[in-house]
Amino acid sequence: MLQKLKEYQFLLEELIKRDFKKKYKRTVLGVFWSVLSPLLTLFVMKLVFTGFFGNNIPFYTTYLFAGNLIFSYYRESTTQGMSALMNNADIFSKVNVPKYMFVLSSNLSSMINFLITLVVFFVFAAIDGVTFSWRFLVLIYPVACLLLFNIGVGLILSAMFVFFRDTQYLYSVFTLLLMYVSAIFYQVTSFPLHIQRLFLMNPIYVYIKYFRVIVIDGNIPSLAFNLLPLFWAAAALLIGGTIYKKNNQRFMYYV
């Protein structure tokens, strides 16, 4: 696969540029929407949930922002990845290129938005009084795992969307449910221990919690917890890669 990426590096770069520019085409604020959108969501969540949960959670603004940042990146990345094949059918139906390139480019385009918003997140964390330390460098690990996880989920969704157009509607309902079970605006410590462990079966919660432990608690997660982001990333890539390999030739008949 690495050899393929090197071989089609120019194509991948051009696809990333196209996807990034296309998102903000004919908008007044352009790329600033990548910052403004999560800030508006943060404002609404803080306005609604501070009275219910904010009084018991330290650095609640940062707590909310971390959850919203990770979830928004996941939702944007996978939603764009889901339609990557269908949106580029006119290309790969005429030119022999690896089809996963389109899913990869859409995910990397979303990663650019995420990194821009991440800078704003650190600014808000500083305003909120969070103490910065060298441990913040460890955030590279969960971000890399989340990127791989999103690519894997994107591969799965894009294949499903080719065969079942209803996928887009079902996925919108799923992401809404996922938002409420990812502890974005509440703490899981209020639940019994066995329920808290169930949250670890939610990959998005795992990535959100990793961010919060580093940024808010100022600690590095345990070795066991460090394995979880890698496990979910590897599982998603394995499943997504297997689906693509199995259905690679069939895609042409359904797009």
- Percentage of the chain beyond pLDDT 70 is 80
CA dihedral of 106, 112, 113, 114, whole degrees rounded to 10: 100
Task: HSE, CB side, 13 Å, CA atoms: give it for residue 239.
Answer: 17
Digit-coded pLDDT (tens) for 25-42: 665 555 666 666 777 777
Q: What is the pTM (predicted TM-score) of this model?
A: 0.88
Domain-wise residue ranges, the chain = 2-253
Digit-coded pLDDT (tens) for 109-122: 888 889 888 988 99
Digit-coded pLDDT (tens) for 158-206: 999 988 888 889 999 999 999 999 988 888 888 888 888 999 999 999 9
Measure the CA–CA gap between 180 and 176, rounded to whole angstroms: 7
**pLDDT confidence bin for 157, thresholds 50/70/90:** very high
The angle that helices 100-127 and 60-82 make with each other, rounded to 10 degrees, is 170
**pLDDT confidence bin for 48, thresholds 50/70/90:** low
Average pLDDT over residues 32-58: 70
Tell me: pLDDT of 74 over 80: yes
